[in-house]
Structure formats: structure tokens, C-alpha cells
Amino acid sequence: MPSKKYADTDFFLALMKDSDWLKEKAIKIFNESKEDLYISPFTIVELMIICKRENINIKETLFHISRISRLEQMDWGIFFRACNLIEKGATIFDSLLMALCNEEDKIISSDNVYQKFGFNIIDLKK
């Protein structure tokens, strides 16, 4: 099975904002990853919270994101795996994203937390 690339919140924020220090790298990664780009429901919730806080149109934002990424489906096992990661020090949103991933999957992010837990990342900072 080919690996999936899960985009973290900072990836989508970099693409959405007019100006962002990660924008150039996010565009490059997007262009290279269009076919395998996935989003978790948890990243969507986090983006909705940010949009609400920043007074950004939530529905429009979700529409644009839905056009460029695939939504991953879930089962209860994901939540139990996330609990194990939380017990090891991960935040709730980070643990839920990691719980969706398989060994061959990658996470697109500028956050180093995923490497600390042994996940492969596509680093937005490099």
C-alpha cells in the first residue's frame, strides 16, 4: 500500500494565508504531494477553531481544503491509540493525527513533536 501524507494544521494555514514564513515550502510540498494528500478530522476541527478565533469564513475554508485533500476515515481504535500517545506526552490534536498514521505514512508539519514519537515527517521548515 502506498504511503499517505497527512497534512497538519500549519501546512494548511501556510497555504491559506497571504503571507506566511512557511508558504513557499508548503506550496512546493503541495505540488509534489497532490495525489497522496490526506487530512484528519482532527486537523479540520483545529482549523475550524482557528478560523472562528480569527474571524475567517469557516465554510469557505473547509470547501477549499476539501478540494485539495482527502478526508481519512476512522474507527474506535484510533482514539485508543491516541490515548496511549497522550499518556506519553502528546497533545490531544497531535496524538489523534499520529493515531491515524501507519508506519509508511508521513506527516507534513513544521512541528517536531511527530519525530519525537518516531513518525516520518515532511518538514515545512527545511
Residue 124 included in any domain: no
If one counts the domains in the chain, the total is 1
Give per-residue pLDDT as tens, 47-70.
Answer: 999 999 999 999 999 999 999 999
Residue 22 included in any domain: yes
Say yes or no to pLDDT of 102 above 80: yes
Residue 125 included in any domain: no
Which strand ranges, in their side-by-side order, compose the sheet holding 37-39?
70-71, 37-39, 5-7, 106-109, 120-123
Q: Which domain holds residue 59?
A: 5-119
Model-level pTM?
0.82
Q: What is the pLDDT of residue 39?
A: 94
Q: What is the pLDDT of residue 122?
A: 93
DSSP three-state, residue 106: strand
Q: Round to whole Å and give the CA distance between 49 and 74.
A: 21
CATH code for the domain of 101: 3.40.50.1010
Residue 126 included in any domain: no
Q: What is the pLDDT of residue 26?
A: 95
